[in-house]
């Protein structure tokens, strides 16, 4: 079983008062996945914000994020054999929060994957 993991820079530093944004996640994967928001690009520090185990279903969530530091969106995708895939979109509601690509929307799957 292969686990593919990707870390995306979710939010840049925000000066002044603590701000918040809504993270809207729409995602699916073959065969299973878990999505996390973490303070580290290499470890998970919170419960999953979204998970699923059926490629035929699109899973979604809306999560309130409040931070003044960089956060990471970590996707753990498990392929249980045969072809595998992951597909999704992530959107931040507050333009003070941006993904590493400089936009508040990030599509999947042009990530740097790490096989574990």
The pLDDT tens digits of the residues spanning 14-35 come to 344 467 899 999 999 989 999 9
For the record, the structure tokens of 46 come out as 């919170």
Listed residue (2, 8, 37, 3) closest to 110, CA to CA? 8
Q: Flag residues of the chain having pLDDT under 70.
A: 1-18, 68, 109-116
In this structure, the strands spanning 71-79 and 32-38 are antiparallel
Query: What is the predicted pLDDT for the residue at 18?
Result: 60
CA angle 75, 73, 88 (to 5 degrees): 60
Query: What is the predicted pLDDT for the residue at 13?
Result: 40
- Please give the Cα distance from 72 to 74 (Å, whole number): 6
Phi, psi of 103 (to 5 degrees): -120, 165
In this structure, the strands spanning 2-11 and 59-67 are unpaired
- Please give the Cα distance from 69 to 83 (Å, whole number): 37
């Amino acid at each position: 079983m292969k686990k593919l993991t990707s870390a995306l820079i979710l939010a840049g530093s925000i000066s002044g008062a603590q701000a918040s944004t809504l993270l809207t996640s729409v995602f699916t994967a073959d065969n299973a996945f878990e999505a996390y928001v973490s303070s580290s690009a290499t470890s998970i520090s919170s419960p999953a914000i979204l998970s699923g185990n059926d490629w035929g279903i699109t899973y979604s969530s809306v999560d309130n994020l409040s931070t003044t530091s960089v956060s990471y969106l970590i996707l753990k995708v498990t392929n249980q054999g045969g072809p595998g895939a992951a597909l999704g979109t992530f959107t931040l509601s507050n333009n003070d929060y941006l993904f590493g690509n400089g936009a508040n929307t990030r599509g999947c799957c042009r990530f740097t994957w790490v096989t574990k």
